[in-house]
Chains A and B, each alone.
Chain A
Amino acid sequence: MNATVEQAASVASLAGKVALVTGATSTFGIGRVSARAMALAGAYVYVTGRDPDQGAETVGEIEAVGGKTSFLKVDVTVEDDWVRAMAAVREQFGHLDILVNNAGNTLSGLIEEMPLETVWYLAHLNIEGAFLGHTYAWPLMKDSGGVILDINSTAGQGGSVGGTAYPSSKGGLLGLSRAAAADGRRHGIRVISIHPGSTWTPGMERVRRVTREEYDRNITESSRIPLGRGAESADVAAALVYLSSDEAKHITGIEYNIDGGSSAR
């Protein structure tokens, strides 16, 4: 079984909190589902992304279930976008409680065949994008405290064939999260590194041309996940609602795996 969005939303109350989620407009999954769960849990959620049309669609989806939300256009690799977005948050609320650095991408290839541009692209997006998030969220968090959830991956915890660019970028993100947790302690800023394993999203059906049944069968046959199935976005959302709530106010600097037990093997 996997968690549902409704379960994720009922994990803890986020009433009165202000959250910003990057990469939240893609129908691919984790950011959008998490934004919805956080809004259902009572937070005001800024959904951000590069595409205003998808942003409007996401806002409509959250408002339809009674959530409070708005869209801000943020390409996480563009510093000016962060400046503008955080200025908007400051003007409306004066502070930020929760930042979810979710935007990211993956590419793989053998090192001798991979161009340097790919390594830079993933470093800009997966490491620097989160770095900018931390940098611009801090002024809105350091008086009142806050929590930054960096969406990493189980790929950021081990090497793989074809992985000198992507897992290494997620490794870099983990280093950033750990250092930021150390820096944030005296300001009451918590930083948590979130590591989903293989996560089923509807986008996989379109992009990878794999059905849910095929995906599940592949995981069962390979037996690489002890629980025998992949995560869903709502499993990640459930973790995010808990870790961003006051229930988790003593949790910082950790790696939180959502991987069906893979990392325990």
Chain B
Amino acid sequence: MAVLTGKTCLILSAEIALSRAVKDHLTSAGASVVTLDIAEASEKAWDEGLLNPSRFPGNIDVIINMCIPDSGGVIGQVNLSDFRRVLETSYIRTWLSLKYGIQMLRASGGGSFVNVTSVDGKYGVPGAAARCAASHGIVLMTKSAAVECAAKQDNVRVNALLVGDIVPGQHDMYAPGHVSPEDVAAAVTHLASDAAVYITGLIMPVDNGMVLS
């Protein structure tokens, strides 16, 4: 279905397999897709990366922020610098992408922002204190950004997907928690599209029924 015809989507991520699947899905739905990876977690890097008009001359309608944190490890075995690195590369990076990405979407007259984070944003998982902290934080950040944009009536929607373990290829309901990149991509496309125009602040698990396990 060409639900994204005429829309330009920006994927913020390093080149991971999931990003490629999302890119393919968005493209097949009719969108133009650009990707950008800003490694540095500074305001300057993100301001220049997203708000420099020469870099993106046209409108950006959709921003997909890939922010699945590393697990970190068991309490007592993770040091502060490793814990902080997880926060910086996911939680802090997501805040920067929201700060500058929302302004980018406002300049386009509105749009859809989708954070793709871990299902650990909903559960406490052993050995994953850093990922649980970062992804729970991203959930609340998503909700706050959504209500801020709604209060401004700026036509910017902000949602988050909580994805389970990415397992390429076939999968079924007998493996709760396992999802394919295509499942995630389909959910991204839906939230990006105008069919989801009333949906904001939604925290949507894409986890093949993990709650059933």
Name which residue of chain B comes closest to A148, CB basis.
B75
Interface size class of B (residues with CB under 8 A): 35 or more
Query: Main secondary structure on chain A at its contact with chain B?
Result: helix
- Cβ of B140 within 8 Å of any chain A Cβ, yes or no, is yes
CA of A253 to CA of B18, assembled, Å = 31
- The interface residues of chain B lying within 8 Å CB-to-CB of A46 are none
Does B116 reach chain A (CB closer than 8 Å)?
A: no
A173 to chain B minimum Cβ distance, whole angstroms, is 7
Q: Identify A167's interface contact among B83, B87, B126, B140, CB under 8 A.
A: B140
The stretch that binds B, out of A13-21, A114-122, A214-222, is A114-122
Chain B residue contacts of A60, Cβ below 8 A: none
Residue of B74, B132, B140, B201 ringed by the most chain A CB atoms within 10 A: B140
Q: Is the pair B80, A128 in contact by a Cβ cutoff of 8 Å? A: yes
B132 & A163 in contact (Cβ 8 Å cutoff): no
B142-157 vs A, Cβ < 8 Å mask (1 yes, 0 no): 1111111001000000
Given contacts A159-B143, A175-B124, A179-B125, contact A134 B136 (CB under 8 A): no
Which of the 9-residue segments A22-30, A31-39, A181-189, A196-204 touches chain B?
A: A181-189
Q: Is the CB of B75 within 8 A of A171?
A: no
Tell me, in angstroms, the Cα distance from A172 to B124 when the chains sit together: 11
In the assembled complex, B84 has its CB within 8 A of some CB on chain A: yes
Say yes or no: A131 contacts B133, CB within 8 Å: yes
CA distance A110 to B151 in the complex (A): 11
- Whether, in the assembled complex, A139 has its beta carbon less than 8 Å from a beta carbon of chain B, the answer is yes
* With A112-B99, A175-B133: A156-B92 Cβ-Cβ less than 8 Å: no
**B129 beta carbon closer than 8 Å to chain A:** yes
- Known A-B contacts A116-B43, A138-B76; the reply to A160 vs B137 at CB < 8 A is no
Interface residues of A in 152-172 (CB under 8 A from B): 156, 158-165, 167-172
B139-A171 in contact (CB<8A)? yes
Q: Which of A127, A134, A161 contacts B75 (CB 8 A)?
A: A134
Contact call A172/B144, Cβ cutoff below 8 A: no
CB distance from B199 to the nearest CB of A (A): 14
Contact of B120 with A by CB under 8 A: yes
- The CA of A95 and the CA of B129, in the complex, are separated in Å by 23
Partner of A168, one of B84, B91, B103, B132: B91
Q: Contacts A169-B137, A172-B136, A176-B129 known; A183 to B75 CB distance under 8 Å?
A: yes
The answer to whether A79 has its CB under 8 Å from any CB of chain B is yes
Does the CB pair B75–A168 fall under 8 Å? no
Question: Contacts A111-B99, A178-B136, A181-B124 known; A116 to B92 CB distance under 8 Å?
Answer: yes
User: Counting chain A CB atoms within 10 Å of each CB, which of B80, B121, B129 scores highest?
Assistant: B129
Docked-complex contact B142 and A159, CB < 8 angstroms: yes
Q: Are A164 and B95 in contact (CB-based, < 8 A)?
A: yes
A111 to B147, CA, bound (A): 11
Is A180 close to B, CB under 8 A?
A: yes
- Distance of B159 from chain A, by nearest CB (Å): 12
Q: Contacts A161-B151, A171-B137 given; 16 further ones with Cβ under 8 A?
A: A111-B145, A116-B41, A123-B92, A123-B137, A131-B83, A132-B80, A159-B146, A161-B144, A163-B140, A167-B140, A168-B137, A168-B140, A172-B137, A175-B120, A175-B124, A175-B136
What are 8 A-B contacts defined by CB distance under 8 Å?
Answer: A111-B98, A111-B99, A111-B144, A164-B98, A164-B145, A172-B91, A178-B124, A183-B126
Q: 4 smallest A-B Cβ distances: which pairs? A: A178-B124, A159-B143, A175-B136, A171-B140
